[in-house]
Chain A
Amino acid sequence: MQSKLTDIELIEQTLGGNQAAYADLVKRHQRFVFTLALRFAKGREDAEEIAQDCFIKAYRSLSSFQQQSKFSTWLYSIVYTTAMTFLRKKRLDTDSIDADESYIQIESKPSGYDEYNVENKSRSYYLNQAIEQLLPDDATIITLFYKGEQSLEEIAKAMGIEANTVKVKLFRARQRLKDKLERNLKHEVNELI
């Protein structure tokens, strides 16, 4: 059962030495942090590693949290920087991977399409699929806006950019998501025909 205390109360208890309070904070935010991490990492194992890393970093610097913003906004800014660092590192690592290997990965993806019939796939399945195809930045903005209960200003704070830039990025991300969703559905219909 999750604690009924607010984030701030749980933080105060954690700073007072009650580690169980921090466990409650982790339980409360883990799904969202993990989903955000998944927008960058794509693989569940990597995403879990990023998400765990974020909570550990947040614990270490909990005393520096000024309470000028929501805890979630502060936590998401940690997720964003941690995930960006992960992505940069990953890019450096994959530079050395043979192109054939990447081809195999791309080839192996559509095989999943045959496993289901279009009737069995819900609209949310296609939505998740389309989100996975977005760039990490676009997917993050969409997730923060719709699932993170964050305003444009709070997203700007978490991502370290201007609120107006977030507005423009959100518009473009929604456009791209809509295009991908339509393309995937069209592809599915063609497969059936």
Chain B
Amino acid sequence: MNSIEEKLWDYIDGTLPAAEQQAIALLIEQEEVYRNKYNELLQLNSEFKAMELEEPSMAFTYNVMETIRAENAMKPLEATINKRIITSIAAFFIFTITAMLVYVLSTVNWSIGGSEFKIPVELNLKAVHLSNFFSGPVVKGFLFFDVVMGLFLLDHYLRRKTVAKGQ
């Protein structure tokens, strides 16, 4: 009996191969047992299809969205920073360091014949004077910007600490 029902359900669902589908259709037409069972299952099938979905409370969507909003607000700033920005900053530094290294290594006189190895003039520490680096408006501007940024971050950090203590 079960196999008949199983076949009939498959027939109703349309999951049988075409040849079997035709064979079952023929059986339903010719055999009364099949026809009765088929009609019974067909009625059940339409009842199952007409089954009604349940309705959640009116505030359901609002509750979901409020939870999401609250979660987003609690996310720390670091987590919201775009990863692409961090990657491009890292790439910039790697590129700068590599370029400097390549430049420095290309200026080195590699012909080490006895005492012929010479440090390039740019790298000769004896010739380096600190005043050379800290002169010029661009460098001064850069240093000033660094100091301001440092103070801004310190202020930001202290504010966050005060808020955390208050909670």
Mask, A123-135, CB within 8 Å of B = 1, is 1100110010000
Q: Is A178 an interface residue (CB 8 A)?
A: yes
Q: Which residues of B contact A170 (CB under 8 A)?
A: 9
Q: Is A188 an interface residue (CB 8 A)?
A: no
Residue of A nearest to B40 (CB): A178
B68 A56 Cβ-Cβ under 8 A: yes
Q: How far is the CB of B126 from chain A (nearest CB, A)?
A: 57
Contact of A34 among B15, B60, B65, B69 (CB under 8 A): B60
Q: Which residues of A contact B64 (CB under 8 A)?
A: 23, 26, 52, 55-56
Q: Which residues of A contact B6 (CB under 8 A)?
A: 171
Most chain A Cβ neighbours within 10 Å, of B5, B50, B52, B61: B61
B60 A51 Cβ-Cβ under 8 A: yes
Given that A27-B61, A48-B56, A174-B9 are contacting pairs, would A131 and B67 also be in contact in the complex, using a CB cutoff of 8 Å? no
B44 A174 Cβ-Cβ under 8 A: yes
Mask, B1-43, CB within 8 Å of A = 1, is 0000110010000010000000000000000000000000000
Residue of B nearest to A33 (CB): B56
Contact of A30 among B44, B56, B69 (CB under 8 A): B56
Q: Is B57 an interface residue (CB 8 A)?
A: yes
Q: Which residues of A contact B61 (CB under 8 A)?
A: 23, 26-27, 30
A143 to B54, CA, bound (A): 11
Q: Which residues of A contact B63 (CB under 8 A)?
A: 52
A167 to B16, CA, bound (A): 12
Given that A23-B65, A26-B64 are contacting pairs, would A142 and B48 also be in contact in the complex, using a CB cutoff of 8 Å? yes
A55 to B51, CA, bound (A): 24
A100 to B5, CA, bound (A): 41
B60 A127 Cβ-Cβ under 8 A: no
Q: Is A90 an interface residue (CB 8 A)?
A: no
Given that A26-B61, A152-B15 are contacting pairs, would A127 and B47 also be in contact in the complex, using a CB cutoff of 8 Å? yes
Q: Is B164 an interface residue (CB 8 A)?
A: no
Q: Which residues of A contact B48 (CB under 8 A)?
A: 127, 142, 146, 174, 177
Q: Is B78 an interface residue (CB 8 A)?
A: no
Contact of B49 among A31, A146, A175, A177 (CB under 8 A): A146
A31 B56 Cβ-Cβ under 8 A: yes
| Interface class of chain A by DSSP | helix
Q: How far is the CB of B137 from chain A (nearest CB, A)?
A: 41
Q: Is B55 an interface residue (CB 8 A)?
A: yes
A32 B51 Cβ-Cβ under 8 A: no
A102 to B68, CA, bound (A): 36
User: What would 19 more interface pairs be, CB under 8 Å, given A35-B54, A48-B60, A142-B48?
Assistant: A19-B69, A22-B68, A26-B64, A30-B60, A31-B56, A32-B53, A34-B54, A47-B54, A51-B56, A51-B60, A56-B64, A56-B68, A124-B47, A124-B50, A124-B52, A143-B51, A146-B51, A167-B15, A175-B5
Binding site for B on A (CB under 8 A): 19, 22-23, 26-27, 30-32, 34-35, 38, 44, 47-48, 51-52, 55-56, 59, 123-124, 127-128, 131, 142-143, 146-147, 152, 167, 170-171, 174-175, 177-178
17 interchain pairs (CB within 8 A)?
A27-B61, A30-B60, A31-B54, A31-B55, A31-B56, A44-B54, A48-B56, A51-B60, A52-B60, A52-B64, A124-B52, A128-B51, A128-B52, A146-B48, A146-B49, A152-B15, A177-B48
